[in-house]
Each structure stands twice: as structure tokens, then as C-alpha cells.
Structure 1
Amino acid sequence: MTLMRIGILGTGNVGRALASAWARAGHDVVLGSRRPDAPELLAELKELTASGLRVDGPAGAAAHAEVLVNATPGTASVALLRTIGAEVLADRIILDVGVGFLEDGSLSHPGVSLGEEIQQAFPETRVVKTLCTIDRKVMIAPDSLEGPATVFLSGEDAEAKKVVRGLIGDLGWADDALLDLGGIATARGQENFALLFIGIAGATGTYEFGVRVVLPTSGGSGLDH
């Protein structure tokens, strides 16, 4: 395991879950919030900060990080990253977990994914989209599922994907559970899965599930239809 400096933008349920899990694995984690000194936020994060996890502003979390995790609402992510600045984000790995929803429940990025928008806005940053097809509890506890599930990765930079694979492994996922979909354009599929995710949750009564890619026993006949 390679221990890393991780900054997490977003102090909601996803950000907290990932911060706690990676800190337990030994990584140096800083949570980034627009209101890092707010008493109500510090009260909510008391258990995490008591264990040594730090809270800073978004720019401070980004400056700290080798890997910066975007766990902010997808409708606000690019604007928040712009406040940090392209110079700070250059050559950083951004592990993008975000999905954007509008008030009516539709996706805010139906044609072009948030992952693509971040990559386009910050071309010197290495964006990897992942973990957005599972609930926060499953993210950090894959063994809570009855069987194996699949986690997807999208991005242009092979080395960045390798780093992210290692971090997902530190959450408890086996390497053969990770499926590289290809370039950042494939993040569209990951993000659009959010609509099916909501449907499955409604049908099963829980958000704590995974999906698994199951291949034919013979290996299939390629992509011909």
C-alpha cells in the first residue's frame, strides 16, 4: 500500500464515509469545506476530527492533496473547482464521485458527464470517474453485499487510474471487481446509471446494493450484433 495525501471536497455523507475509511487505512486525509470553521459543521464532524482528521477550506484541501476527491453536488462542482484554480489543480488527480441532480430529479448532465466537464475545464488535471454507481455504505464495505459487485473507472490517464485503483482497494474492493471502461467520455454511462440506481432502490427498499458485470462462460463472440 502506498500512503497518500488525500483531499476531499464535500463534507456530506459520501465525503465523510470516504474520509473515515481512508484515514483508517493510514492515508493523510483533509476534508475541504466552504465553511471549515462553522461551529455546526465542527460539531457534526466531531468524531472524525477527534480521530485526527483535519478540516480546511477547499483551496487548503486541494493544496494538501496528491489525490483530490470531488464529493460535492454535481451542479456545483465545476464552480467550486474554479475557485481553487487551474494552477493549483494542474497535474493533480481528481477522483470524481459527483452526480448532478436538478430539483425535478432529472440529471443536470444528461448529454455530457460531470467528469467530462471537469476534465474540459481543467485539461492539466487527471480526472478519474468512479464510485458513483454505489451507495456510500457499500463504497467502504463491499463485504456487506451477498456477492461480488463491479466498480467502474473512466478517465484518460492510465497512471491516475492505477493510483485510484489502489485507493479503491484500500476501501476493501478486490482488484478484479474494478472494470476500466475507457476514456472520460464513458463517465456518461456511470452517471446516467443514477436513474436506474434510484429505480432499483425503490424496488428493493434499500440503497445498499451493487451491480455486477457477468460475462458469458465461453467469453462471448465480441461486439458484433
Structure 2
Amino acid sequence: MGRAAAAVSVNGMRIGLLGTGNVARALAHGWSSAGHDVLLGSRRPDERKELGLPVAGLNETAAHAEVLVNATPGNVSVELLRSIGAPALAGTLLIDVGVGLSDDYTELSHPNSSLAEQIQAAFPDTLVVKTLCTMDSTAMVAPAGLAGPSTVFLSGDDTEAKRTTGKLLTDLGWPPSSQLDIGGITSARGQEHFALLFMGIAHGLGAHTFNIKVVTTAARN
């Protein structure tokens, strides 16, 4: 809580997305449609020119961005961020949407912690916020396509960083009423560990595009 959040404008923000997979591309399209300046970061940008989105190297993407989004596989994310370097990430809001899973999707890479906690520990001067990791890429950017409102979670130690993240979520179609701040960065493990239940639900439904809604007790008169 002692770190100061970087000053950013929520209108026309420069967003760098680390990764070029389904999640990174979906978020890039979503935020681009909302008027933000997006750039995908890749270790091999020359091989990713066919995506229809601007792509650059990792360091260039980090330098461009007011906000970084980690959309890389969770078992390589910390190593990839170290290749960019702590000085380049200091004071930056980093939205982490990754989850570390084994190749067969049956085990977590961080069973007693979370990727977001590992990133925050490795980069103490970076403002890490965990969100969007409890759903697939389609639901992330098209919540209105689901059968009714549902819940997106936020975890992080910096209040202003979570506030900025919340505004970016609103730009993707998540109203404040659907956003639930569940606490500090340690609460990110709850979001990430949901991945195992997500796999079970997907198997039961025969589909991956769904989400959950937190339902409380009915108000009493």
C-alpha cells in the first residue's frame, strides 16, 4: 500500500498486452473498440504480423504502455517479465489475467500461492491487479452475451490501481455492479484456483463460455 499508483488517463489509454494468444487478442480488440491505444508484445514480433493488430517486442511494448496486461502462460510469466526488467515495470499498473496450469490442465503451477502473488513479490514496485482469470476470452470481452449479469473479481494491494482496472473492465462491458473487489493480492489465489472448478464446469456443460455470479441472501423486510 506504500506504492503510489502511476498517473494514467482512463480515456485513450496506452495499453500493452504481453502475449499474442486468444486472450491477448480478444482484450486488445475489446479495448481498441473502446478507444484505447493497444499494442501486443511478443518475443518474436516479426512472426506475428498476421494478427491484424499492432505487435512489437516485449521491451517496446512495456515502454509504450501506461498499463501492461500479462496474458502469457502462467508458468512462464515471471521469467518473461524479468526479461523486461524491474526498472521498466516500476510504478506501472500490471493487470494479470494469467493462470499457471500443467500441460494436461489438471494441476496448478502455484498450488500454494498464485501467479499474481509471485509477480508482485518479484516486482515490488509494480502495481499488480488480478482479474478476468475466472472465464474464457469470449466472456471477458462480451459479458452482455451471457444469460444475465455475472461477476468479475479484482485482487490487489493498491486501491487506485484497482480503480483504474475497474474502469477498464467497464470499457469491456462490465458495469461496476458486476465488479467485486475481494481484497489484497493474496486473494488472487482464490481467483486462480477457480481454474480447476472451471474445467469441471466446462466438462459438465460441454462449453467454455460461461461465468459465475455471486448471489447473496435475499433482503429481509
Between stretches 97-106 and 185-194, larger displacement belongs to 97-106
Q: Equivalent residue for 1:100?
A: 100
Q: Equivalent residue for 2:83?
A: 83
1:217 Cα shift? 1.4
Q: Equivalent residue for 2:3?
A: none
SS in 2 for 1:153: strand
**8 Å contact 2:11–2:35 — kept in the other structure?**
no
What are the Cα deviations for residues 73-113 of structure 1, in whole angstroms up to 9, with x where unaligned? Answer: 00000000000000000000000000001134210011010
Q: Equivalent residue for 1:20?
A: 29
Q: Does 1:5 align with 2:14?
A: yes
SS in 2 for 1:56: strand
Pairing of 1:117-128 with structure 2 (within 5 A): 117-128=118-129
Q: Identical aligned pairs, as a percentage? A: 59
- CA root-mean-square deviation: 1.0
Instruction: Supply the distance in 1 between the matched residues of 2:219 and 2:30 (Cα, whole angstroms).
Output: 38
Supply the AA of the counterpart residue of 2:59.
A
TM-score for the superposition, normalised by structure 1: 0.91
Would you say how many aligned residue pairs link Structure 1 and Structure 2?
210
Instruction: Supply the distance in 1 between the matched residues of 2:193 and 2:130 (Cα, whole angstroms).
Output: 13
Q: Does 1:65 align with 2:65?
A: yes
What are the Cα deviations for residues 9-39 of structure 1, in whole angstroms up to 9, with x where unaligned? Answer: 000000000001111111011100000012x
TM-score for the superposition, normalised by structure 2: 0.93
Q: Where does structure 1 lack aligned partners over 5 or more consecutive residues? A: 220-225
SS in 1 for 2:124: coil
What are the Cα deviations for residues 44-83 of structure 1, in whole angstroms up to 9, with x where unaligned? Answer: x0xx23xxxx210111111111110000000000000000
Instruction: Supply the distance in 2 between the matched residues of 1:134 and 1:20 (Cα, whole angstroms).
Output: 17
SS in 2 for 1:37: helix
Q: Equivalent residue for 1:131?
A: 132
Pairing of 1:180-199 with structure 2 (within 5 A): 180-199=181-200
Supply the AA of the counterpart residue of 1:87.
P
Q: Equivalent residue for 2:171?
A: 170
1:2 Cα shift? 2.0
SS in 2 for 1:124: coil
What are the Cα deviations for residues 124-167 of structure 1, in whole angstroms up to 9, with x where unaligned? Answer: 00000000001100101001111110000000000000100000
Supply the AA of the counterpart residue of 1:162.
R
Q: Where does structure 2 lack aligned partners over 5 or more consecutive residues? A: 1-9
Instruction: Supply the distance in 2 between the matched residues of 1:158 and 1:129 (Cα, whole angstroms).
Output: 13
